[in-house]
Amino acid sequence: MRRIVLLFFGSTILAVFIYKWCPVYITPLMIIRCVQQIGNGEMPRLQHTWVPLDSMSIYMPVAVMASEDQRFLDHNGFDFIEINKAIEERRTGKRNRGGSTISQQTAKNVFLWPKSSWLRKGLEVYFTVLIEFVWGKERIMEVYLNSIEMGDGIYGTEAIARQHFGRRSIALTRPNCALIAATLPNPLKFSSKEPSAYVLKRQTAIMTQMRHIDIFPKKPNK
């Protein structure tokens, strides 16, 4: 048991350190989706191109923070204000809201599986603490924007920019980024290529919130 515990902590910490510098080319969710597609008798679909954060539109991090996690730059991986709101809404029988931060979503996307369980939630907390400590905010955002599911078989900002907007991610406009962010609650249901009235309404709200979100500074060219 001691060896198993040491192996788990050693391997997971090593993986986190490796991904601090190395691109994340494949995630568990990408594999799961491909298996599901094959199981449905379909050809597997996987569009994914890794690009560094400074090769993306400056508005993309702003849009996802406005949509998903407005206190991303201030919290340590867990937004207890949103967690308390989610608990209160469940207690009063209102609609369930997600309390997961961008850091938690990144930890889940890169190291874990999508189906919720107490085991996964516990591991999600563990990996969130690790990446907050080892990676820092800029790297977390970079990995998040490269690995998150943004459409059917489409992962990351570069892939969605090319597939739905016919341009590189660095050329995405402010409205483009807000439209992509508007689909993230359910990118298999909502589309940034053919947005519904609901998605367009969310896009407008996100663009309003983006005015209050700081922009990540661009790194100087080497």
Distance CA 131, CA 140 (A): 7
pLDDT in tens, 104-129: 999 999 999 888 889 999 999 999 99
Amino acid identity for residue 183 in this structure? T
Domain count for the chain, please give it.
1
Burial of 41 (0-12, 13-18, 19+ CB in 10 A): exposed
**Is residue 6 included in any domain, yes or no?**
no
The pLDDT of residue 220 is 43
**Is residue 8 included in any domain, yes or no?**
no
pLDDT in tens, 76-89: 988 877 777 777 76
Residue 96 confidence (pLDDT) above 60: no
The pLDDT of residue 78 is 87
202: containing domain: 15-210
The mean pLDDT value for 65-82 works out to 88
Q: What are phi and psi of 110, to 5 degrees?
A: -85, -35
The pLDDT of residue 222 is 36
**Is residue 82 included in any domain, yes or no?**
yes
**Is residue 72 included in any domain, yes or no?**
yes
Residue 218 confidence (pLDDT) above 60: no
Residue 19 confidence (pLDDT) above 90: yes
CATH of the domain at 157: 1.10.3810.10
Is the pTM here over 0.75, yes or no? yes
SS3 for 154? strand
**Is residue 112 included in any domain, yes or no?**
yes
Distance CA 110, CA 14 (A): 14
**Is residue 220 included in any domain, yes or no?**
no
Distance CA 30, CA 221 (A): 32
CA distances from 85 to 67, 97, 102 (A): 16, 8, 17
**Is residue 222 included in any domain, yes or no?**
no
pLDDT in tens, 156-211: 999 999 999 999 999 999 999 999 999 998 999 999 999 999 999 999 999 999 99
